[in-house]
Structure 1
Amino acid sequence: MKAAQARVLLTGASGGIGQAMVQALLQAGAQVLGVSRTPQPAQAGLTWITADLGNAADLARIAQAADRWGANVVVHAAGLPAFGALPQLEAAQMQAVLQANLLAPMLLTQALLPRLRQLPHAQIVFVGSALGRIGLPGFSLYTASKAGLHGFAEALRRELGDTPVRVQLLAPRSTRTAFNDDAAQAYNTATGTGSDAPAVVAQALLALIESEAAERYLGFPERLAVRLNSLIGPLLDGSFAKHRRQVAIPTPTQGVTP
């Protein structure tokens, strides 16, 4: 779909990547309905709806607003970060990350799908992560959420293969925004992890929408690592030793005699 024909419902539109996506879409001629948890100023071509994706009533309200507004493209860009060794993660954090990164986009898609299937052409873009295909030490929770999203997108793409709805996946690598806290930034520096500016991700989204390709992964060597990991994953385990050393895993003490 050409950007000028796109009316894009964009979740996470007020975030670092989201803001860059809004500007790229507007500059390309698209109309945007942004979703944010806090009120945002409108501008030409940009309308906002204030909602919490973790709230069932708000999800229904977003779907209704998108219907009235005439959305024909949905971009699921909202999400929560998660970095740290598994013993350091709180149960509430784990539930919140899985809710935001996986369950919310699934439920919102389910609510939007009946109308999208009635359109001559529609697209759903899930913003995943290279970590959805490459499990790194310190990102077990985040990887689980994005791997689930990738699997959902792949299955849904095949499920809707004979309908007017195209399902797509955009998988950035690390991006230079406040999404990564100081600990994650230090990890990326110590391990030599590459990163992109938000504008790079935004332009990749625009290209993906216009190409209608199934998937787009960003960055090298991340794109290569995704391919290799899908083929010889266990053989790559040793190559992540330096990543493992950057994650402080508490030594178990239960049942140990002093």
Structure 2
Amino acid sequence: MPWSRKPWSRQLPEGGWAAQSVLITGASGGIGQALVDELAGAGARLLITGRRREALDALAARHPGRVTVMAADLTRAEERRRMVEQALEAGCTMLINAAGVNRVGLFESSSDDEIEALITLNLTSTLQLTRALLPRLLAAEHGWVINLGSTFGTIGYPGQAGYCATKFALRGFTQALRRELADTRVHVLHVAPRATRTGMNAPEIEAMNQALGNAMDAPQRVAGLVRRAIEAGREETQLGGPERLFARLNALLPGVVDRALRRQLPTIRRFITKPRGDTP
């Protein structure tokens, strides 16, 4: 129920992670798997979901008694309903939206199906799951929504138009929901990793980042930083010092960033442009 003011600290309450029951989506992905290891290792009880059952089972085997597995497709309404039911049974009061997909390439080569898949998983299904679980979070003594965004939710980047669209929208959703729930006991956080070494990256993307001098984090490092952001109750967290500076510059002087990225365009196009005749 709504409260006239937040009667709780922005940090984790007494009992820490051992008192938390957490639903993590996208747990079979690179950052998702690292988050499971990080939070289960800290003592949390986890309900983990994702499409790859084998990866989920391997995580559960590493953390016996702490991890419950539910293989599910977040984009399917019936499977989201089952997620919510199982989250209620498990007493989850923290939702970490880590599910996501990316497609790197020139926007003109994107198909309708690719654009729809990006928006459906990265944005629509995430919002629908959050809304469905919100009554439980509002009723809890302490409720949490943590959305994993991206540097590309702050900086529009060539070759990432569709992905940027979803991550900009997720950041706006997080900010709006936080303000909408400002007089409740639900705390809403946004954590934006920079480039991360995961299986979602094609080899040419890692090669492009190396050529451009873009730093890439290991998923384990990202998971540790996400955990610390939650523990500190930081509502907005951008990972990476240069990325924080670039995001501020983009907000204040976007023309400067336009010119800097224009100089990178030949290198970006060299790695992401498909030869004519290839299917996107």
TM-score range normalised by the length of the shorter chain: over 0.9
For 1:87, the equivalent position in structure 2 comes to: 108
Counterpart AA for 1:94: I
For 1:11, the equivalent position in structure 2 comes to: 25
Quick check: 1:182 aligned with 2:242? Answer: no
For 2:46, the equivalent position in structure 1 comes to: 32
Quick check: 1:156 aligned with 2:177? Answer: yes
Is contact 1:4-1:30 (8 Å) kept? yes
Counterpart AA for 2:200: F
* Stretches of structure 2 lacking an aligned partner (at least 5 in a row): 1-11, 275-280
Give the % identical residues.
Answer: 39
* Stretches of structure 1 lacking an aligned partner (at least 5 in a row): 251-258
Is contact 2:20-2:94 (8 Å) kept? yes
State the alpha-carbon separation in 1 of the partners of residues 240 and 234 from structure 2. 17
Question: How many residues of Structure 1 are paired with residues of Structure 2 in the alignment?
Answer: 252
Deviation at 1:38, TM superposition (A): 3.1
SS of 2:269's partner is: coil
Counterpart AA for 2:31: I
Deviation at 1:235, TM superposition (A): 2.9
Quick check: 1:247 aligned with 2:261? Answer: no
Counterpart AA for 1:223: R
For 1:126, the equivalent position in structure 2 comes to: 147
The aligned runs of 1:25-64 (5 Å cut-off) are 25-39=39-53, 40-41=56-57, 42=60, 43-64=64-85
TM-score (norm 2): 0.86
Deviation at 1:185, TM superposition (A): 1.7
1:150-190: CA deviations, max 9, x gaps? 00001001000111100000100000111111232222122
Is contact 2:118-2:163 (8 Å) kept? yes
The aligned runs of 1:67-106 (5 Å cut-off) are 67-106=88-127
**Which of 233, 252, 258 does residue 237 from structure 1 map onto?**
258
State the alpha-carbon separation in 2 of the partners of residues 19 and 38 from structure 1. 11
State the alpha-carbon separation in 1 of the partners of residues 139 and 131 from structure 2. 14
Is contact 2:153-2:168 (8 Å) kept? yes
Between 1:64-73 and 1:232-241, the stretch displaced more is: 232-241
**Which of 240, 245, 250 does residue 224 from structure 1 map onto?**
245
TM-score (norm 1): 0.93
